[in-house]
Structure 1
């Protein structure tokens, strides 16, 4: 092999290694002092935290957020689990305090049904309107072309002879 090929191959391997090293890793903001000693409880806490939205960051779970309120919520989840609450009890407790907005996946009950069904209703309404427009347009007759008046006919002939 030529020296050029070996140097090129080394450059590709180095570039690939740098790209893999700089790939974004999942963001986790859990501090070491928050982690529970019991691994089973910690796993449950992480599962619950992944389903709770940070009320400051909005599109981050409390597990990913560095906001103070997210830290407080993570500690609250762990505190409730240590106290013996089930996962559902912890979620219910937090939703009672912060509202359903704190859930990453809101429930499909009450007024939320409108939010869940609105995209489907809009798609169906748009499809219905499009279908009605196409049918109406297909049934319409093309406008008839008006015949030229004798003066316009004479002028056209004069222009064509030029």
Structure 2
């Protein structure tokens, strides 16, 4: 799970260039081990490998099942949305953003998890910190990360 924070039209990179490492926001101190050495990181709940692990189905097939109305698949996407909303709540409190854009391959099934992610944000975050917040899929889908990396390169090396 990657991420980026854009402040005043520029990428926020932090003190040493490693800022906005969103996948390693902690969700559960006793959660699954993460490759960063911690446990229960957001990545361990909402990444494609994590979804495959806990749902027993890769996200592509899970999306197909959800499109067919499979109640188990729909419930699993809803759970993924709750995980995502819980992880994003920390960011909303810190940055009070106008918009959160969800990209990557998993975003192809956004219609099944964004409503529960937004509901979780509304449940966890005080209204003044989330007023006007929009949660939406990236227009570039799975290519959003590549486009963001290119833009960061142009910002860093004009």
TM-score of the superposition, structure 1-length normalised?
A: 0.21
**Bigger relative CO (Cα 8 Å, ≥ 6 apart):** 2
Choose between structure 1 and 2: higher helix proportion.
1
TM-score of the superposition, structure 2-length normalised?
A: 0.22
Choose between structure 1 and 2: higher strand proportion.
2
Rg (Cα) greater in structure: 1
